[in-house]
Structure 1
Amino acid sequence: MPRARSLSLSSRVQSPPHLGIRRTVDWRIGRIISIIASGKYPNCQTLAAELEVSAKSIQRDITHLQVMKNLPLEYDNKQHGYYFTRPVSEFAPMQLSRGELVALFVALKALEPLRGTPIYKQVAESLNKIAGACPEAVSIHWQDLHAACSVKDAGVMRVDAALFSSLLDATLNRQEVAFSYHKLSGAGRGELRRVQPYHVGQVMNGWYLIGHDLARGDWRTFALQRIRGLEVLKNRFVADASFSIRDHLSSGFGVWSYGAEAESFEACIRLTGWAARYVAEGRWHRSQKITPLKDDGSEIEFRAELAGLEEITRWVLGFGRHAKVLSPKKLRDAVQAEVRAMLDA
């Protein structure tokens, strides 16, 4: 029996040998629409034989198309089969290329840090339906794809499923939250926070909550893995319409953000060798400008408009001797101070 491509994106993803390649109801209904639209006047018996299901199943599908989908589907007594009284191109089966199906698979792989959360489950089920609704023109061996493709989550912070789900619900429902937060620089004791959550997102390999800290009267960013004892409160709030996550993150080089009153500066860094080629390939900041200094790409000048030193300092240090800070002086001094401290440690 020919097998349809059903992307097993639920818990079976954990065990590639048990991937189920099965036909879905969506796929079967799509095939019924295609066969009827071809003008062959199929009936329940011929459709059942072709799709290898019972005639009763086909009759239920036909009723579903007529009643629930309101398709112009009628039975021709002379032809002894079904036909459409008008074109139904808007109900044509989904057409995805092999590359597009693979892209869906890779997208789910990228969500591995969210495994166990409702959002992962919903995305997996949605992609499974999309893949299952596609016609048989595309053949994908998903077990082979599992072996050939992966997304390495080196450095990606794992997220507690229950915590992520609760924060996402609170963000969508505009409910205040309270929790104990442990700073990286703290001595192990958490600080109690009460926050109006605005955004939950992944930035620089970590998942973060961005919201308005009521006690501090300002915007704050919280790493999900350092949140303890989350409580979703009954208090609701009206969101600030002027808030933009894009604008909020644009002043920093990563997840750190700085207020409108923070002094901005243009960072100018010269990179050579492998670092030059690596940086030229990436999108690091919305304001970045990259100028090639050598035709072979072995030397470039990187510029970005920033407000804080912390993350850009760590970024520069990561390239070692292949990065030289040209300006501003405070960034150059920060890098030099960190290098001296490393040598003296």
Structure 2
Amino acid sequence: MPGRLLRLLSLLQSRREWSGAALAERLGVTDRTVRRDVERLRALDYPVEGITGTAGGYRLVSGRNLPPLLLDDDEAIAVALGLATAAGGSVPGIEESSMRALVKLEQVLPARLRPKMASFGGVTAAVPHRGAPHVDPGVLATLASCARDQEVLSFDYRNRAGEVSARRVEPHSLVTVRGHWYLLAYDPDRADWRTFRVDRIERPLPTHRRFTARELPTPDAVAYLARSFASASYRYTARMTVRLSPEDIQARLFAPIPGEVEPLGPDASAVRLTADSAELVVQYIAALAALGAGYTLEAPAEITDRVRRLGLRLAS
């Protein structure tokens, strides 16, 4: 009995809604047994809500109290690592609460998982992203829950120029890059995918309208974000021709390029660098030049002047 209740709880936590028939099939029991087990979970303060309809069903909803969560081994390790590194992230105000939660988790961590957790703790560290914008943990939670539940999301968005527009999107996923959080979503009003900086999102609200998930035009959210960065045009743009293949460039640089790299034959590449910061563009120009291959540079005067001054400082 306890084992079946735990399996039922795990299923209810794995997705938003289940039909009674699907739960009975997964558990290998009758619909009547599922109904009895649901009542037992409710008696243990798990807020399991019944769904009306032709088949009927159940879903686990938010209640007054936080009931215990059921995590498998990989999920437990992932949560512990996330809590351990939260103090070095870009979400302010959660360092102390993260440590308290980590202590509670470690107290109940099964013995078989402790060596794995200890091995991570000895060789990992979090480097804070200085200068990265702070984001509201509540905003992140709202975006993540709407993406998980496939619920249309509305919010006000402030673009780079400071202009604010009302948006209504189908959220797909959250991605963090160099301390910045981004929401990847489909915008029906623009009939296209869009990325939004989370620190520029204001007043996000679930609309309680469901949508059917769309297929990304790239293998995953990270690949789409990289393509979006490459095709964007920011305040400063420079172009370099480097006598290396794109694979050699990406393999030898310390971080992904804020732009696009295209092959110009087997041993040459066209590199487009773009960013709102002139300093960042110059840093990547210097990094590419330091690879030791021949190159040419096309850039506005503000960029080339900075490159010359940097060269003089290095030479001196």
* TM-score category, normalised to shorter length: 0.3 to 0.5
Q: Return the index of the structure with the highest Cα Rg.
A: 1
Highest RCO, 1 vs 2 (Cα 8 Å, sep ≥ 6): 1
Q: TM-score, normalised by structure 1?
A: 0.44
Q: TM-score, normalised by structure 2?
A: 0.48
